[in-house]
Amino acid sequence: MEEDIETRLKSADSEVRRIAVMELVYSDVEDMLGCLLIAIADSDTSVRTEAAKALEGVEEDEAVAALLQALSDSSEEVRQAAAYSLAELKEPRHGAASLKKAAAPDPFVQAAALRALRELRVPQAFDCALSALAGDSPAVRREAVGVLGYLKQPAALGPLTRIATQDSDANVRRAAVGALGYAADVDVLPALTAALSDESWQVREEAASTMGKLLPAGAEPQLIAAMQDEYWQVRVRAARSLGRMKVAAAVPSLIEALGHEISNLRKEAAIALGEVRDARAVPALESALGDVDPDVRKMARLALVSIAQAA
């Protein structure tokens, strides 16, 4: 079977070569890496794409170098496959090679290299990511935010709070709001509060979620107000955070959410009320025992048990 695969990798038919690359990953071919390195330089786009996918998780230096080179391939499909594979790297020793690409003039190459650096968490990536925040490409700025979030250095808080509230791209603002989840609440509460009023509901949703991770003192009124957001997704995150923070003042808003048409929101409201453990919620939770959604009924029942235990 091994000789068969290696023979087919040299076939004049590109489809035969492509399928051989796919099978190669599950074979016992001794020089699998060597075969993949040849395939990623194949004349056919589909073969190169399969080779780039197959190199995912291969930590050999030659594989990383080939993937970094493939970021400049003429085919977008190949470039994307290489970028995804590089993002799966786990060995910090590959940071140096990725750092070089992170300074490339091509925004796609730069963004892909930054995405790879995020998981590697090499300290040297900090300055590179910080510089990339000033770039013109939203994709580059978003990946730079990811690097800074993973590195969790206090020096990044200032730039991240600025990006979270001022960047022109909603996806970048959302990423920055999420990255602030490692910070001390006293440093980032103003930025998160501002993000709860962002024009993009995804940014507001992320802000509500991040507050639930930080549990910042003083965030309660903003989160309660978020329970009236026009998007139920924001309300879900706000309810979750209010429950974690055990905000008694949120009970009326959470009870109201128990009657919302979206079952996910009703479920989160029931969970939150169980965490707050306020007896005022008992009648509403008892009514929720007849909800059409089994998950809502289950969470309402658990919430009632939690409140009874706290009495």
Instruction: Quote the CA–CA distance of 100 and 125 in Å, as a whole number.
Output: 10
Instruction: Quote the CA–CA distance of 273 and 261 in Å, as a whole number.
Output: 18
Length of the chain: 311
Closest CA to 228 of 239, 217, 219: 239
* Domain spans, the chain: 1-88, 220-311
Architecture category of domain 1-88 in CATH:
Alpha Horseshoe (1.25)
Instruction: Quote the CA–CA distance of 202 and 124 in Å, as a whole number.
Output: 31
Question: Cα-Cα-Cα-Cα dihedral of 231, 233, 238, 244, to 10°?
Answer: 170
215 CB-side CA count, 13 A = 5
Contact at 8 Å (CB) between 240 and 268? yes
Contacts of 213 (CB under 8 A, 6+ apart): 181
Fill in the amino acid letter for 200: S
Does 1-88 match 220-311 in CATH topology? yes
Instruction: Quote the CA–CA distance of 240 and 96 in Å, as a whole number.
Output: 40
The predicted-structure confidence for 123-172, as pLDDT tens digits, reads as follows 999 999 999 999 999 999 999 999 999 999 999 999 999 999 999 999 99
pLDDT of residue 185: 63
The predicted-structure confidence for 244-267, as pLDDT tens digits, reads as follows 999 999 999 999 999 999 999 999
Token look-up 């949703």 returns 205
Q: Residue 32: what are its φ and ψ, rounded to 5°?
A: -60, -45
Q: What is the CATH number of domain 220-311?
A: 1.25.10.10
Question: pLDDT tens, position by position, for the chain (311 residues)?
Answer: 445 888 899 999 999 999 999 999 888 888 999 999 999 999 999 999 999 999 998 999 999 999 999 999 999 999 999 999 999 999 999 999 999 999 899 999 999 999 999 989 999 999 999 999 999 999 999 999 999 999 999 999 999 999 999 999 999 999 999 999 988 666 899 999 999 999 999 999 999 999 999 988 889 999 999 999 999 999 999 999 999 999 999 999 999 999 999 999 999 999 999 999 999 999 999 999 999 999 999 999 999 999 999 98
